[in-house]
Amino acid sequence: MKLRLMLWILGWLLKRALRRKPAFRESLSQARGLDWGIATEDLSIARYYRMSPRGIQTGKGLPVDLDLELRFEDEAAALKVLRKPTQQAFLDGMMAGTVRLVGDSADLTKLQKLLKHL
Protein backbone atom coordinates (compact mmCIF):
# COMPACT_ATOMS: atom_id res chain seq x y z
CA MET A 1 0.00 0.00 0.00
CA LYS A 2 2.79 2.44 0.84
CA LEU A 3 4.50 1.88 -2.51
CA ARG A 4 1.28 2.40 -4.48
CA LEU A 5 0.69 5.68 -2.67
CA MET A 6 4.29 6.77 -3.17
CA LEU A 7 4.09 6.10 -6.92
CA TRP A 8 0.78 7.97 -7.22
CA ILE A 9 2.24 10.95 -5.34
CA LEU A 10 5.26 10.85 -7.64
CA GLY A 11 2.94 11.28 -10.63
CA TRP A 12 1.23 14.20 -8.92
CA LEU A 13 4.62 15.82 -8.14
CA LEU A 14 5.76 15.39 -11.76
CA LYS A 15 2.61 17.09 -13.07
CA ARG A 16 2.99 19.88 -10.53
CA ALA A 17 6.64 20.43 -11.48
CA LEU A 18 5.68 20.66 -15.15
CA ARG A 19 3.18 23.43 -14.32
CA ARG A 20 5.28 25.36 -11.81
CA LYS A 21 8.99 24.88 -12.48
CA PRO A 22 10.55 26.33 -15.64
CA ALA A 23 13.81 24.41 -15.05
CA PHE A 24 11.88 21.13 -15.07
CA ARG A 25 10.06 22.07 -18.30
CA GLU A 26 13.36 23.05 -19.92
CA SER A 27 15.07 19.80 -18.88
CA LEU A 28 12.11 17.79 -20.13
CA SER A 29 12.12 19.53 -23.51
CA GLN A 30 15.88 18.90 -23.83
CA ALA A 31 15.29 15.22 -23.01
CA ARG A 32 12.50 15.19 -25.64
CA GLY A 33 10.28 13.23 -23.36
CA LEU A 34 10.71 9.99 -21.49
CA ASP A 35 8.41 7.01 -21.00
CA TRP A 36 9.31 5.00 -17.92
CA GLY A 37 7.82 2.82 -15.22
CA ILE A 38 8.39 1.38 -11.77
CA ALA A 39 7.28 -2.11 -10.73
CA THR A 40 7.93 -5.02 -8.45
CA GLU A 41 9.30 -8.14 -10.17
CA ASP A 42 5.99 -9.97 -9.85
CA LEU A 43 4.17 -6.92 -11.32
CA SER A 44 1.76 -6.82 -8.38
CA ILE A 45 2.55 -3.10 -8.06
CA ALA A 46 3.35 -1.23 -11.27
CA ARG A 47 2.95 2.32 -12.53
CA TYR A 48 4.10 4.06 -15.71
CA TYR A 49 4.85 7.70 -16.51
CA ARG A 50 4.77 9.19 -20.00
CA MET A 51 6.53 12.53 -19.87
CA SER A 52 6.71 15.04 -22.70
CA PRO A 53 6.93 18.85 -22.78
CA ARG A 54 3.18 18.91 -23.59
CA GLY A 55 2.13 16.95 -20.51
CA ILE A 56 2.57 13.98 -18.23
CA GLN A 57 0.37 10.89 -18.27
CA THR A 58 0.48 8.26 -15.58
CA GLY A 59 -1.39 5.03 -14.99
CA LYS A 60 -1.39 1.56 -13.49
CA GLY A 61 0.57 -1.26 -15.07
CA LEU A 62 3.58 -1.42 -17.37
CA PRO A 63 3.02 -1.05 -21.13
CA VAL A 64 5.53 -2.88 -23.33
CA ASP A 65 6.73 0.25 -25.18
CA LEU A 66 8.46 2.02 -22.27
CA ASP A 67 11.98 3.43 -22.66
CA LEU A 68 12.98 2.50 -19.11
CA GLU A 69 11.70 0.19 -16.39
CA LEU A 70 12.88 0.04 -12.81
CA ARG A 71 12.06 -3.38 -11.39
CA PHE A 72 12.40 -4.03 -7.68
CA GLU A 73 12.58 -7.41 -5.95
CA ASP A 74 9.68 -6.54 -3.63
CA GLU A 75 7.84 -3.60 -2.08
CA ALA A 76 10.33 -3.23 0.79
CA ALA A 77 13.30 -2.98 -1.58
CA ALA A 78 11.48 -0.39 -3.68
CA LEU A 79 10.63 1.74 -0.66
CA LYS A 80 14.20 1.57 0.60
CA VAL A 81 15.67 2.82 -2.69
CA LEU A 82 12.94 5.30 -3.62
CA ARG A 83 12.99 7.11 -0.28
CA LYS A 84 16.53 8.27 -1.07
CA PRO A 85 16.90 7.84 -4.85
CA THR A 86 20.60 8.57 -5.18
CA GLN A 87 22.80 7.10 -7.86
CA GLN A 88 24.65 5.13 -5.18
CA ALA A 89 21.39 3.63 -3.85
CA PHE A 90 20.48 2.37 -7.34
CA LEU A 91 23.99 1.01 -7.85
CA ASP A 92 23.96 -0.79 -4.49
CA GLY A 93 20.53 -2.25 -5.30
CA MET A 94 21.72 -3.50 -8.68
CA MET A 95 24.79 -5.10 -7.15
CA ALA A 96 22.68 -6.77 -4.46
CA GLY A 97 20.16 -7.97 -7.05
CA THR A 98 17.18 -6.11 -5.56
CA VAL A 99 16.96 -3.59 -8.41
CA ARG A 100 16.88 -4.44 -12.10
CA LEU A 101 17.09 -1.88 -14.88
CA VAL A 102 15.25 -2.73 -18.10
CA GLY A 103 16.30 -0.35 -20.85
CA ASP A 104 19.16 2.02 -21.51
CA SER A 105 21.19 3.36 -18.60
CA ALA A 106 21.38 6.72 -20.40
CA ASP A 107 17.61 7.01 -19.86
CA LEU A 108 18.19 6.48 -16.14
CA THR A 109 20.62 9.40 -16.18
CA LYS A 110 17.98 11.55 -17.94
CA LEU A 111 15.42 10.52 -15.35
CA GLN A 112 17.70 11.37 -12.44
CA LYS A 113 18.36 14.83 -13.92
CA LEU A 114 14.62 15.42 -14.22
CA LEU A 115 13.84 14.21 -10.72
CA LYS A 116 16.35 16.66 -9.22
CA HIS A 117 13.86 19.44 -10.05
CA LEU A 118 11.10 17.97 -7.89
**Which pTM does this prediction carry?**
0.89
For 68, the domain range is 2-115
* Sign, Cα dihedral of 113, 107, 100, 93: negative
Contact 112, 101 (CB under 8 A): no
pLDDT at 112 over 90: no
How many domains is the chain built from?
A: 1
Residue-wise pLDDT tens digits, 63-99: 999 999 999 999 999 999 888 878 888 889 999 999 9
50: CATH: 3.30.1050.10
